[in-house]
Every structure is written in structure tokens, then in C-alpha cells.
Amino acid sequence: MEKRTIRNAIVGALLLFAAAGTAGSEDILVYITETGRRYHRGDCRYLELSRIPILLSTAVSVGYEPCGHCNPPPPPPGITPPSESQELYRLNVSGVEEPEKADLTRMTRAIVVRHVDGDTVYVSIPRPPASVRQYESVRFIGVDAPETVHPQKLVERFGEQSSEFTRRYLLNRPVFLAFDWQLRDRYDRLLAYIYLADGSCFNALLLREGYAHAYTHYPFEFLEQFRALEREAREQARGLWGSQEK
């Protein structure tokens, strides 16, 4: 019996050792808050109000720095944080012709920390460029998702599905923000193109999958492309177009 206990202990120790070896420090989960610039260990007292799990490598690449109180793991080597003096990347003057050809490296990096509905989220930006705050509500340029949270309106057709699509794709995820000629709307929300880490434009994705209408009351760089994406989704009866009566 004793031999077996010892053997189990050795096997257990080896397994622990192997696990520690395979999980590089860049794969560790750390935590951020909605409004802070630091990343934390899970038991840090600064996580009382909000607690958003994120990979250490992502936290560092977005610009978060280690908390001085809880001593989380240091930034892994080879991960470059965004520079402090980044300018706004405005697609209307960038010469980019298609949404998917925009340059992620020039965009503002953020984490989506709160979800509102299909076309609006809150982001945390640890290193915001001038004229952008560290915590912002972001309205996606050129799209209009069916309403879900407007107190004066009934829930619009497909509003819940659209909202859920955005929540699943974006909440607690790293995103890249690009802008157009108008930085804010009349509610002081940032107007942005929201890009995923694989380079796809989420505004365009909403249209392509039929989770939003193209919003063309104001001009923006990809107005024609967005109209075409909406038309295509309608013709294919995707998303909200599939539930319309003929």
C-alpha cells in the first residue's frame, strides 16, 4: 500500500510539473476592471466592482500593466504593448478601399467590457489616444441593429437575436477601433468601426449575417459596400431578412 502511495505522489508531481511546463506564462488568465489600466490576480481587492477574465498576452498587447498591489505575472516576452502616442486611425482619409483591408496595427486597442445591444458596446482603452477616454460607449458606424433596450419602443423584430450575436462575439474580447470623419454622435458615444483580431470588420459582419440594417443617413467611407452587404443578406434571406413577410 505504501509503495502505491509513493508512486501516486510521484506521478502526481510529474503531472503537475508537465502542466506547468506546457502552460507558458502567456496563457495565464488575469483580470481587468471596466475602468482601470492594470491587470490583476484573481484575488486582488481591486476586482470588487468588476472582474473581467482575459489572457495575460491579450492584456499586455492591449496596453494593460501589472497591478502594483497583487503582483500578477509580468508581461510575457515578445508581446508589444501599443505605443502611448497613437493617433486616431480614420478610414475616410486612409485610402483603404474595402473594410477588410484596413490596417489593424494603426487602430486603437480595447477590450469590450459591457454589452448594450446589437450595435452598441462599452469598451475599456488602457492607452487611449488624444480626444478618446479610457472608458467609452461605442456606436458602430454605418449599421443599425433592431432596437431592444429603448424604453419607449416595443421590442423590434429580431432585436434580441441581434443583441445576442454582438454579445457572443464581442463581450470580454479584444477589439481594434478605427474611425471616420465624425468621432462622436450627439449622445457623446464614440462612432467606430470595430475590428476583430483576425482582421474582420464586425460592422460588415453584422450586415452580412443579416443582424443589422445599413445606416446611411450620414456619409461614411464604406457606405456603398455596406449597402451592398445589406442587399446581399436580404436576397439570401439571412438573419432578420429571413423572418420578414413577403
Least CB distance to Zn ion at residue 122 (A): 21
Least CB distance to Zn ion at residue 38 (A): 6
Work out whether 240 is an interface residue with Zn ion (CB under 5 A).
Answer: no
Active-site position among 136, 147, 221, 230: 147
Q: Rounded to an integer, what distance in angstroms lies between the CA atom of residue 22 and that of residue 27?
A: 9
Judged by beta carbon, residue 67 or residue 175, the one nearer Zn ion is 67
One residue of 60, 67, 111, 204 binding Zn ion per CB under 5 A? 67
Work out whether 69 is an interface residue with Zn ion (CB under 5 A).
Answer: yes
Is 189 part of the annotated catalytic residue set? yes
Residue owning grid cell 459582419: 205
One residue of 32, 33, 36, 44 binding Zn ion per CB under 5 A? 44
Return the range that interacts with Zn ion (CB under 5 A); candidates 35-43, 178-186, 189-197, 211-219.
Answer: 35-43
One residue of 32, 36, 40, 148 binding Zn ion per CB under 5 A? 40
Is 127 part of the annotated catalytic residue set? no
What is the total count of residues that contact Zn ion (CB under 5 A)?
6
Least CB distance to Zn ion at residue 47 (A): 7
Q: Rounded to an integer, what distance in angstroms lies between the CA atom of residue 143 and that of residue 132?
A: 21
Active-site position among 139, 208, 221, 230: 139
Is 160 part of the annotated catalytic residue set? no
Active-site position among 114, 189, 227, 238: 189
Which residue type sits at 190?
L
- Phi-psi bin for 172: left (phi > 0), alpha (psi -120 to 50), beta? left
Binding mask 45-64 for Zn ion (x = CB under 5 A): -x------------------
Return the range that interacts with Zn ion (CB under 5 A); candidates 42-50, 81-89, 107-115, 200-208.
Answer: 42-50
> What are the residues binding Zn ion (CB under 5 A)?
40, 44, 46, 67, 69-70
As annotated, the active-site residues are 139, 147, 189
